[in-house]
Structure 1
Amino acid sequence: MSCKSSFEVSSRKLSLSDKEADNSAKLLMARIQEIPKMGYAFGHQDATAYGMGWKNDGSLYKSDVAEVSGDFPGIYGFEIGHIELGHQQNLDSVNFDLMTKLIQKAHKTGGIVTISWHPNNPVTKKSAWDPSPAVSEILEGGILHPKYQAWIARVADFMNGLKTKKGKPIPIVFRPFHEMNGSWFWWGHGNCTPEEFQLLWQQTYALLTNTYKVHNLLYCYSSDAVKNREEYLRFYPGDAYVDILGMDLYHKESTEAYEELLQENLSLLATIGKEKGKPYAMTEGGLNRVTVENWWTDVLDKNIADKGIAWALFWRNAWPNHYFGPFKGQKSSENFRKFKALDHVLFLSEVKKIR
């Protein structure tokens, strides 16, 4: 108990972007800073919401990777796209009430939760992948700024509603407006200027923290793969608005090209993270359908284990031609168990001890 108390006391001295951050957020940051001393944590998007051939209806608690490895992820990814519209389900048909319960369970068992947000295009009302320019319209002074304020109010209600059974806030790593250096989202490169993106981030932060009093968030800035430092920092809103740095790094081309991508991008991220004194992570990634049998140990781990990342999160197991984690019978399952057995790869049983 004395060790835990000491850890909690030291966490309260941390300086986060939100100067009124709840102690739970400070404790989460202290945990995240501790992880790279031991290795890196394994994460999976929607791990307990659905998987190959099943969907959580509220009556079960399982995970594809747990069925393969015997342990749950240390990092749980969730998505709140469509909450801005007042819908009951997110864009991947996960009910928000169920999501709240899954987040509560993940937190209670010692996991860390990160939330992404793919908001619809506010101008066209189409999906986040509609690149029609929209950012200038929702900034202060823009014709759709009141609409955006209402969107953020709904995000705030959800975040403020994430509490333990004792009513304490559940801390979240919030990762909005990701992959901004790509052109596929309405907030991305070519669809708004870097200055407009920075204002969008800063104004979103101000609405959440100042207007709607959300104080359980750590803010994560995460790009897609970059060619250089300038590209990574082009849209960066400033140290005062960011707690964690990230990159989304997917295996899209050859294995050799992906290994090079991991080496170059994570080395750059490590340099920037150390300069700024901020933890950093591979915030999304993976190989669709994990088609390389020994991918987890020989492609992934060999190229990320020494980079100092806090975690690596793999995308969701959605349907038979779109999955990034193993499941029973999947060709990389045996290799995944070897990956899980590595001392420096941390699943829930190891991550929960850091508190």
Structure 2
Amino acid sequence: MKTLVTGGAGFLGRYIVEALQAQGHEVAVLCRGDYAFLRQQGVRLIQADLADRDAVRHACRGIERVFHVASKTGPWGRYADFHRTNVLGTRNLIDGCRAQGVHKLIYTSSPSAVIGFDDLCGVNESLPYPVKRISAYQHTKMLAEQMVLAAHGQDGLVTTALRPHAIWGPRDTQLLPALIERHKAGKLIRVGPGRNRISVSYVENAAWWHLQAADADPDQAGRRVYFVNEAEPVNMWDWINGLLTSIGLPAVERALPYAGAYTLGAACEALFTLLPWLGEPRLTRAVAAVCAKDHYFDVAAAQRDLHLSSPVSMDEAHRRFAAYFGQQQTTTKDHTCVLARPS
């Protein structure tokens, strides 16, 4: 089947591309850069910006289904930048799918679309969207998700949105590497008492869930959004410490009460809004909530409609993480890279 993956050079997108190729599908990737490893894999690379309506429409020509993984992420930044990629880019892709007769669109959304500042304990897809904007990322992912679902049935297009949470594993270049480097620099601090539970998504399983969604019965999965993550939540800080110690790093010991982190985050937001040339604050109210609140989700609907399953067990996922990032640590030491020392 001829398949297009947006953001196919990224962390999750790359695993989706590999899973599709393993099933014998013909894969094209839409991304802004030129990636030799994709060309070497036999992927048709389409260099374009999602904000370029004509280029996106051309990329959809001859395509049967699309996995829309590309997104601008992060807790801080100009709203216009998030809107350009996450909202305008998604609108262009939907228009391209409709114009070119694409049969199915699988959208990688995020639980961030519904996460606020409160605990979310085993909630399902009936949870309403927040009334107030939490962050530019949250708001634009919410708008994009709504557009994707609303496009179902237009010109024969079937749409499904997935909300994987805390994607992790080998080849991650953002979440865990950032935690590791902050920890090495002595700047990683636990927020709250450390009892909060979260859902996590091992990356190879997350890729598989996307393929399961694409193969699902459109009468069941069409115009639906699903939480998709490992079935059992983990204690966030025990999980992080387990990953750190598996690659030879000490556990996180420093802590800050949630109320203090929230107040400090609000002050940082005000300061960096007033003085944008300072860059990006390391702490915001949303980051404080992510680090201290329960965020775990019920996947019963995905298990029922998508036959959600995890080919890689959590024990094996941890082994693969330790093997990959442990090697990264060894390579760093061998190259005598200068790293910040804990204070």
Compare CA radii of gyration and give the structure with the larger one. 2
Task: Output the TM-score relative to the length of structure 1.
Answer: 0.34
Higher relative contact order (CA 8 A, sep 6+): 1
Task: Output the TM-score relative to the length of structure 2.
Answer: 0.35
